[in-house]
């Protein structure tokens, strides 16, 4: 009877009225994992699954911390640089950094990055807000360090330019972004634009490599 109960997975119940042999055999397990069951499921299996889930949660939290740390750093650098530019460069002559090849020049940009689409300021403001919301929602499923860095750059850059859109003149959601980095023969931009472009390039590279935000790798 004990052997039949072991095969069908029914936990053995020691019989105190017998000589204790059957109870000892059940406690010994007879076969690997036979006597270690809890609610009809092997304890080892549930323990392994629980350990894996517990290890994934801290790993995901670390990636989220990286995302927001990168975003905060990009946002702070952009904000500080714009404050200095407005205070020191606006209404002044451009400052040459590398001759004619690179100079700092304060410009108010009502369009998108690099001065494109100045007639759609409100639309770009809404797009930036949507991007921020999407990144924050995606962060819950983030388990990839490179993706955390890329999304952090996007988030910090979007927040930097969105701050200008909301708080700078001529009005809320129509504010002009402060640009100041002026390479020769290229549009004027700022650190937020640079963070957005770098984050976008990194996302493209990760996509080509088949790495998803949740850490899985696929090959098409």
**Torsion sign (Cα): 128, 130, 134, 137:** positive
pLDDT tens digits for 141-189?
A: 899 999 999 999 999 999 999 999 899 888 787 788 999 999 998 888 9
Let me know the angle formed at the C-alpha of 62 by 134 and 192, rounded to the nearest 5 degrees. Answer: 45
Give residue 187's pLDDT.
85
pLDDT tens digits for 24-74?
A: 444 444 444 444 433 443 444 444 455 544 555 566 789 999 999 999 999
- pTM for this one? 0.70
Task: Indicate the burial class of 187 (C-beta count within 10 angstroms; 0-12, 13-18, 19 or more).
Answer: middle
Report d(CA 178, CA 79) in Å as an integer.
Answer: 10
Bridge partner residues of 109 (DSSP): 177
Report the catalytic residues. Answer: 179, 193
Any idea which residue has 């069951």 for tokens?
37
Report d(CA 211, CA 208) in Å as an integer.
Answer: 8
Secondary structure of 42-96 as H, E, C letters? EHHHHHHHHHHHHHHHHHHHHHHHHHHHHHHHHHHHHHHHHHHHHHHCCCCCCEE
pLDDT tens digits for 5-23?
A: 444 444 444 444 444 444 4
């Amino acid at each position: 009877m004990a052997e039949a109960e072991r095969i069908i997975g029914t936990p053995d119940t020691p019989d105190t009225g017998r000589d204790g042999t059957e109870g000892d055999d059940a406690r010994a397990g007879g076969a690997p994992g036979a006597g270690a069951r809890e609610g009809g499921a092997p304890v080892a299996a549930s323990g392994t699954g629980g350990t894996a889930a517990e290890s994934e949660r801290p790993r995901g939290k670390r990636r989220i911390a990286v995302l927001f740390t990168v975003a905060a750093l990009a946002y702070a650098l952009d904000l500080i640089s714009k404050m200095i530019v407005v205070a020191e460069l606006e209404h002044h002559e451009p400052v040459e950094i590398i001759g004619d090849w690179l100079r700092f020049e304060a410009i108010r940009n009502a369009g998108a990055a690099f001065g494109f689409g100045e007639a759609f300021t409100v639309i770009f403001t809404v797009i930036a807000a949507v991007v921020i919301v999407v990144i924050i929602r995606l962060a819950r499923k983030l388990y990839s360090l490179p993706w955390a860095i890329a999304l952090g750059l996007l988030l910090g850059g979007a927040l930097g330019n969105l701050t200008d859109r909301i708080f700078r003149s001529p009005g809320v959601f129509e504010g002009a972004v402060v640009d100041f980095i002026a390479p020769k023969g290229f549009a004027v931009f700022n650190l937020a634009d640079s963070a957005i472009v770098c984050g976008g390039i990194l996302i493209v590279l990760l996509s080509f490599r088949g790495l998803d935000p949740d850490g899985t790798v696929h090959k098409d």
